[in-house]
Amino acid sequence: MIKLYGSGVSSSVAKVRYCLNLLNLKYDWVETNPMNGENKTPEYLSVSPTGKIPGIDIDGFKLFESNAINRYLALTHGSALYPQDAKKQAVVDAWTDYVAIHVAQAMGRVTYNRVFAPMMAQKADEESLRVGLDFLDKYFPVLEKQLSQNQFLAGSQLSLADINLLANIDWVELAQISLEKYPSIKKWRAALKSQPFYQQCYKDYTDYVQEAMGARAQAK
């Protein structure tokens, strides 16, 4: 039995859900909302000692960190999402790390200051926002070039690198980040969002997050 702990608005959790769906794996969803402190319970800390989401329990094997979870899932199910060949695997790792280190952090800055700070009635950090936008202006063109020359980030095969990027840019509409300068990224993203593995999670990510945030605001 697979238990996935997390929140539906989390891009890191979405990564794992996309992977599970692509692998056709059934799982039990355990809603774990950090806003309510549900990530600090003894039960959850036994799964993810950092208290961050997602966490996963696979027949007693507990693991945290979304990229590590996805590599384990792909490897243990012999999936081409994470190739067995060392060179191909290294290429997937390189693009996964590029997104995690550069794009995800920049997206986090912009999303926090444009979405979460206003929601919590806090003042945005304009310098942090500027840095995040500058980083995206620097790092998105690299992705655009790669996707203009290849169907997917690591070449001709859908991989965990694509799943990582897809989840991390789910926030672009809410964070008011335009992809108009990046037609290859837009085309790649639209193609993946239309597939069942994505649609099983979200018909429209922006609508889902807005509804979820609205429901939480009303509950307070």
- pLDDT at residue 192 in the model: 98
Q: With 0-12 CB in 10 A as exposed, 13-18 as middle and 19+ as buried, what is 105? A: middle
Within 10 Å of residue 50's Cβ, how many Cβ atoms?
Answer: 10
Predicted confidence (pLDDT) per residue in 31-87, tens digit: 999 988 999 999 999 999 999 999 999 999 999 999 999 999 999 999 999 999 999
- pLDDT at residue 209 in the model: 87
Q: With 0-12 CB in 10 A as exposed, 13-18 as middle and 19+ as buried, what is 10? A: buried
Whole-prediction pTM: 0.94
* Number of alpha carbons in the 13 Å side-chain half-sphere of residue 28: 7
Cα torsion through 82, 135, 6, 218, rounded to 10: -150
Strand order in the sheet with 61-64: 28-31, 2-6, 55-58, 61-64
Structure tokens at 12: 């890191």
Structure tokens at 111: 């999303």
- pLDDT at residue 204 in the model: 86
Amino acid at 183: P
- pLDDT at residue 218 in the model: 46
200 pLDDT above the threshold of 50:
yes
Q: How far is CA 50 from the centre of its chain?
A: 18
pLDDT tier at 219, thresholds 50, 70, 90: very low
Q: Which residues pair with 4 in a beta bridge?
A: 29, 56
Predicted confidence (pLDDT) per residue in 83-102, tens digit: 999 999 999 999 999 999 99
Question: Topology of 2-76 in CATH?
Answer: Glutaredoxin (3.40.30)
Q: Rounded to the nearest 10 degrees, what angle do helices 160-168 and 66-76 cross at?
A: 150
The span from the CA of 19 to the CA of 219, in Å, is 31
- pLDDT at residue 215 in the model: 55
Closest by Cα among 12, 4, 16, 38 to 216: 38
Within 10 Å of residue 156's Cβ, how many Cβ atoms?
Answer: 7
Q: Please check whether the two domains, 2-76 and 86-213, share a CATH topology.
A: no
181 pLDDT above the threshold of 90:
yes
* E strand or H helix at 82: none
Predicted confidence (pLDDT) per residue in 138-160, tens digit: 999 999 999 999 999 999 999 99
Cβ contact 15:67 at 8 Å? yes
- Measure CA of the first residue to CA of the last residue in the chain; give whole Å: 34
Domain map of the chain by residue range?
A: 2-76, 86-213
- What's the CATH architecture for 86-213? Up-down Bundle (1.20)
